[in-house]
Structure 1
Amino acid sequence: MGKIAFWGMQHGLGVTSATAALAAFIGFEYDVRTLVSQPQRTDGDMERFFNKTISQYNRQFFAIGGLGLDSLERVAKSSKLERDSVKNYTLMVERNRLDLLWGSEKLNRPHEGSIDAVNMVFRMAAEYYGISLLDARSGNENKVSNSLIEESDLVIICVNQNVGVLDKYFDAQQNHWPDALQQKPHLLLMTQYDPVSKYKIKNIANKYKYKLPILTIPYNTSFKDHMNDGDIKGFFARNRYINKNNENYYFIQEVGRAAKTILHEIGINTKLKRIERGS
């Protein structure tokens, strides 16, 4: 199982929307049991982005409660976590391929016991899911994020084309990274990417003498609208078979490239796991 933490050095870098986009794409295109979660829930953005699917598949959720990370924390503390426990407390987004675990507002004021319990939950998730995509709170002073990073197999560091953010990433990494990230495998992901900007990935790589891959999630108006409508899954469903002339083609290709690179990095064979068209 690959536990992947998405993280940014500061807020406002599109970490949550990038996590959601990649989770939706992987859940749609690959036969891999995938879990997505924003453990430290604030405004409920992750759940809101998938709201239409959640409403369709989990009509009674809001009435019955008893799901999400808070409930699993109680199970963990009672030493009753089992292989299928995490699955039983999630919301289905794509049957047998993508589940969403409702985050916890309590983690915004965490204590040591709650952080340990959350780590236990995601360790147990490894018994069922092939991959977990976790939206970690940005910044290097967050205990929950630092713990998620320390426990992860791969970290996706989100930046944008703002030169101040780029300077902070490339010139002062040691001062802005959590200690847990220093020896952790990571990939660079540029969010809200504008390919016609002066600061395109080729020029950024040359400017900062960066030799590793730079992944992108381009800015896309239709995706943004679907995200605001709570219909990320619908966006990828409607754009699955588009051709090069479609305005969304570049976005889909870049999200696909990022997803493939991330899956390869954690040892998943994308050729074997790719779902055949029309299936």
Structure 2
Amino acid sequence: MGQIAFWSPYSGSGQTSSIAAIAAALSSEYHIRCLIAQTKNRESTLEHSFSRSINNFSRTLGHVSGSRNVSGTGLDAVLRIARSGKLEGGAVKNNTQIIEQGRLDILSSSDQKDAKKLEEASDLIRTIFDQASKYYNVILLDLPAGDGSEISRKLIASSDVVVICLPQSRRSLDAYFEKKNWPSTLNSKKTVLLFTQHDPHSKYKAVNITRKYKSPKGLIVPYNTTFKDSVNDGDTKGFYKANKAAERRHPNYDFVFEVQRAAKQLLDEIGIDSKTKRIDAEERGAS
């Protein structure tokens, strides 16, 4: 239903961990089917951030001699299906791994060693996510940084919203606002700024950035040490569930509040009513 691409002028922006945090909030707070995917080759950072939650045995095609024949080989498997001309029905869903049953799946990144070969498949990759949108309400895509990726250009063009991930780095800020490292397909897209790993004590805090560059206000994912440790431990989902009801004085409150705000706004941006899709308090407590 809605495809949201996350992109940054340069790598190392905190883009991937921000996607992980927002995906955890979406799957915990809303009645939606969400897919997350990283379109870089041999890059498993997003998958690793949920490694404690991923159920590798969830996609079962049948039983042979008492053992399971499991699907779940990610983007490479779906690319093979697409090349065979059989990309239909549950081809994407059947090759994902479950993070939150019925709410959050991940399509593993490619094991292709040659980045050029993966880039050459950009049209097929775009078709894969077009097909996925027939099942998933929300697709969050972690795109390669900069303007050198054809995959980024194609998926930016096909996305409903592009989230621009900007750390508190003068280099990245200038690159974005001065349109350096700028994919041409960004020019006609609806964009949302997301200030990643945000430190409110920095001179480059969000309010100063928007004033300096005369830009609209953006969303924030604050820097949070406990969250970063959880990502490294593969327990992003566990961190969110443990902290989603944190009280105002709790050290993780600001982080969770801003991530929830970002998740809500992004749903609204793609036309999903965040109020009607909200899980009620009793069900959230039981999940």
Between structures 1 and 2, the one with greater helix share: 1
Matched, 1:38 2:38: yes
For residue 204 of structure 2, give the secondary structure of its aligned residue in structure 1: coil
Contact 2:72 2:94 in 1 (8 A): no
1:133 to 128, 140, 143: 140
RMSD: 1.8
Amino acid across the alignment from 1:52: R
* Aligned ranges 1:85-100 → 2 under 5 Å: 85-100=91-106
Q: State percent identity of aligned pairs.
A: 44
Whether 2:276 is the aligned partner of 1:272: answer yes
Counterpart for residue 240 of structure 1? 244
1:165 and 2:172 are equivalent in the alignment: yes
**Aligned match of 2:264 in 253, 260, 264?**
260
Tell whether 2:65 aligns with 1:58.
no
**Structure-1 residue corresponding to 2:88:** 82
Residues 77-129 of structure 1 show CA distances to partners (whole Å, capped at 9, x for unaligned) of: 22222232211110000010000001113272236762222111101101100
Alignment match, 1:72: 78
Aligned counterpart for 1:115 among listed residues 122, 140, 156: 122
* Cα drift, residue 198 of structure 1: 2.2
Tell me which residue corresponds to 2:158: 151
In the alignment, the residues of structure 2 paired with residue 64 and residue 31 of structure 1 have an alpha-carbon distance, to the nearest angstrom, of: 26
- The separation in 1 between residues aligned to 2:101 and 2:117, in whole angstroms, is 32
Q: What is the rounded CA distance, in whole Å, between the counterparts of 1:85 and 1:186 in structure 2?
A: 30
Superposition deviation, residue 163 in structure 1: 2.1
State the alpha-carbon separation in 1 of the partners of residues 169 and 182 from structure 2. 18
From 200, 206, 211, give the equivalent of 1:201: 206
Are residue 250 (structure 1) and residue 254 (structure 2) matched? Answer: yes
Give the alignment's TM-score, normalised by structure 1: 0.93
How far the C-alpha of 1:267 sits from its partner, in A, is 0.5
Runs (5+) with no aligned partner, structure 2: 60-68
> 1:218, CA displacement in angstroms?
0.3
Contact 1:110 1:144 in 2 (8 A): no
Q: Is the 8 Å Cα contact of residues 40 and 105 (structure 1) preserved in structure 2?
A: no
Match of 1:231 among 235, 239, 242: 235
Distance 2:41 2:164 in 1: 19
Equivalents in 2 of 1:91, 1:255: separation in Å? 23
User: Normalising to structure 2: TM-score of the pair?
Assistant: 0.90
Alpha-carbon distance in structure 2 between the residues aligned to 1:64 and 1:109: 29
Tell me if the contact between 2:41 and 2:118 (Cα under 8 Å) persists in the aligned partners. Answer: no
State the shift of 1:141 in Å. 0.7
Distance 1:264 1:191 in 2: 20
Judged with a 3 Å threshold, the aligned counterparts in structure 2 of structure 1 residues 113 and 162 are, in CA distance, closer, same or farther, namely: closer
SS of equivalent residue, structure 1 residue 133: strand
Q: Helix, strand or coil: the match of 2:188?
A: coil
Residue 168 of structure 1: CA displacement? 2.1
Q: CA deviation at 1:167?
A: 2.1
Alignment partner, residue 63 of structure 2: none
Aligned length: 273
Kindly provide the CA deviation profile for residues 202-231 of structure 1, in whole angstroms up to 9, marking residues without a partner as x: 222212222x23111100011011100000
